[in-house]
Amino acid sequence: MDMPHATLPMPDTRSRSELVLKRLADALGQPVSAFTDPTKIKADAGAAELLRLWQVIRTESGRDAVLKSVRAIVEAQAD
């Protein structure tokens, strides 16, 4: 009696770190190179700094002040 042969998925040979990095990149809508390319990392350092600082602001009023300031800068540059 011939049994049908199931096709087994190929094992993923990437490291756990590579898989996690890929998932993060996908979740952020960025290519993996955004985390590994030194030129892109340097360009995004300001954004990373802004996020790091945002996380340590303890008060809602402090975060509101940051948002107000950034909105004013963006509005001024739109002219």
Average pLDDT, the chain: 84
**Residue 5 forms part of a structural domain:** no
Residue 6 maps to a domain: no
Instruction: Please determine, for residue 7, whether its predicted confidence score (pLDDT) is greater than 80.
Output: no
CA end-to-end distance (rounded Å), the chain: 78
> What digits encode the pLDDT tens for the residues 31-61?
888 878 877 767 677 888 888 899 999 999 9
Determine, yes or no, domain membership for 42.
yes
The answer to whether residues 41 and 35 touch, using CB atoms and an 8 Å cutoff, is yes
Residue span of the structural domain in which 62 resides: 16-78
In a domain, 63, yes or no: yes
The reported pLDDT for the residue numbered 44 is 74
Structural domains counted in the chain: 1
